[in-house]
Amino acid sequence: MILPARQNLNWSTLSVIVLFHVGAVAALFMFSWPVFFATAFLYCVTICLGISLGYHRLHTHRSYKTALWVEYLFAVCGTLNLEGGPIFWVATHRIHHQKSDQPGDPHSPNDGAFWSHVGWLLFGEVNHNNTRLMSRYAPDLAKHRFYVWLNNYHWVPIIVLAAILYAIGGAPLFFWGIFLRVTVGLHATWLVNSAAHMWGYRNFETRDESRNTWWVALFSFGEGWHNNHHAHPTSARHGLAWYEIDPSWMLLNVMKAVGLASNIKEAKLPNRLTEREAA
């Protein structure tokens, strides 16, 4: 097991998380509508393209195919969320699916809500830069020198972005586009690990405690339809019912229409559920 239950407190991880939360609060005192909308755009790019369509549905589960340059672009967008490089993220998530809510799951609420949300990062084994170890669970990515480099230097893109934002918009855009955006994005992703395994409804009887949680889906571009996802991990569509809004799925259909996505895997609701909706 590469992510054991408890270790000593990772002071470096704690320091970075505290720094970003303090910076997020400071950003609130620098509000302006142009900065707000610029940050919202960055949030969509980095969470929707980087995490949802990139790290998760493409790099981890290979739910669809796209050009290699799109893969690389989405991976760079993923690093802008301070969630580690693509090999680390993919390896961790694949382990989560293998051992979901069982011993060995990196972030199960069975070990406590705090643990599943952020404790696993604060007290778990630090493997963000251990590319060689994490590559065991992501050998497909490790074949690409670009992914290996990006995993080793996953902090470079966000530093470049920070410099650009400061040059364009000064301190307000810097604090909003880096500290506030990243902090909100981290919690959106962490809520999928914690809240979406504790609260919500279940369309499928899976071996874990995954749930469909609408308010998590709201902040994560459809990732909150987590029970659907655990029942059909390779499906690029997470929101299966008409009311399960899945923005990432919608964007993926746009990508298909313009020739940027193909071989898209799509799960369907079982007949018993569609018949119940019709009634």
pLDDT one-digit tens code per residue, 212-227? 999 999 999 999 999 9
Q: Which of 150, 9, 183 is nearest to 84 (CA)?
A: 150
Q: How many CB atoms lie within 10 A of CB 60?
A: 23
In a domain, 3, yes or no: no
Q: What is the pLDDT of residue 150?
A: 97
Residue 63 CB partners (closer than 8 Å, separation 6+): 57, 234, 235, 236, 264, 265
In a domain, 5, yes or no: no
In a domain, 122, yes or no: yes
Confidence of residue 273 (pLDDT cuts 50, 70, 90): low
In a domain, 20, yes or no: yes
Q: What is the pLDDT of residue 271?
A: 66
Q: List, for residues 118-173, the tens digit of each pLDDT value.
A: 999 999 777 777 888 899 999 999 999 999 999 999 999 999 999 999 999 999 99
Q: What is the pLDDT of residue 275?
A: 42
Q: What is the mean pLDDT of the chain?
A: 93
Number of domains, the chain: 1
Which structural domain, as residue segments, surrounds residue 109? 11-278
Structure tokens at 45: 């790019």
Q: What is the pLDDT of residue 8?
A: 83
3-class secondary structure, 61 = coil
In a domain, 146, yes or no: yes
In a domain, 120, yes or no: yes
In a domain, 59, yes or no: yes
In a domain, 49, yes or no: yes
Confidence of residue 116 (pLDDT cuts 50, 70, 90): very high
Q: What is the pLDDT of residue 96?
A: 95
* Separation between Cα atoms, residue 208 and residue 200, nearest integer Å: 13
Q: What is the pLDDT of residue 272?
A: 56
Backbone angles phi, psi at 232, to 5 degrees: -135, 75
Q: What is the pLDDT of residue 202?
A: 96
User: Is the pLDDT higher at 110 or at 72?
Assistant: 72
